[in-house]
Amino acid sequence: MNHLITAAGICKEFHVGSSTLKVLDNIDFNLHRGEFIAIMGPSGSGKTTLLYILGCLERPSSGSYLLNGVNIIDASDDELSHIRANSIGFIFQTFNLLPALNIYENIEVPFLYRSLDDSGIRERIMGAIAQVGLTERVRHTPAELSGGEMQRVAIARAICADPLLVLADEPTGNLDSHTGMEILKIFKKLHANGSTIILITHDREVASVADRIVYLKDGKLIDNASAPEQKAV
């Protein structure tokens, strides 16, 4: 099968004073196109650091990482920005919408940095807004939205430019269970439409929507199992 991500021996160390803190320890990780994977683990296990490395926001201390065949380790800062703009969509636990901009303008942000021609941007943004069911609130600002609506805007922002990879960091972490389920439905729909998704969570129920679950503990990948099997455990 065609690998979108091929990462091997990924290590990440942070220097705290005179001591060194190893957050990721020799991680091997592959992801196919169209796959939906959940990364689980307790707080401090290195989930978010791994997500940021896979999202080209952070460089590993050592190891190799190919995203869609491109060697990320040797890429310059501008090349990494270019890759993020054209290939990756982020969804954050705290939504991270820009308060001064309305829904439309928030979703437009990634297009500002993409190497796309200008044609059809409006249609794509409106399409993404429709996909998350917020067409009526397009001119509203984040302050006028509920938590669930804000996360839906964040999802629309991440997917509207058709990225190769969608990275979601605890997307339901700040939502009540009912709203969280609605968000997960959107993820399922995205996956059904062919999106490749990496979702980080410490909630087993949330992780269960993925094809595959990966466990991180103390910076090490300790298990790989398909979701149905995991449910059986």
- What is the binding site for another protein (CB under 8 A)? 52, 55, 57-58, 77-78, 81-86, 88, 90, 92, 96, 98, 100-101, 109-110, 112-118, 157
Residue 88: name the closest of 172, 4, 28 by CA: 4
- Residues of 73-92 as b/e, b for ≥16 C-beta within 10 angstroms? eebeeeebebbbbbbbbbbb
Asked whether 217 and 224 are in contact (CB, 8 A), the reply is no
CA 219 to chain centroid:
19
Residue at 118: amino acid letter = D
Nearer to another protein, 87 or 230 (CB): 87
Nearest approach, Cβ of residue 57 and another protein (Å): 5
Nearer to another protein, 121 or 225 (CB): 121
Nearer to another protein, 144 or 223 (CB): 144
Nearest approach, Cβ of residue 199 and another protein (Å): 16
Nearest approach, Cβ of residue 51 and another protein (Å): 10
Asked whether 186 and 151 are in contact (CB, 8 A), the reply is no
Nearer to another protein, 196 or 230 (CB): 196
Nearest approach, Cβ of residue 231 and another protein (Å): 32
Residue 176: name the closest of 155, 153, 194, 149 by CA: 149
Nearer to another protein, 8 or 113 (CB): 113
Nearest approach, Cβ of residue 225 and another protein (Å): 29
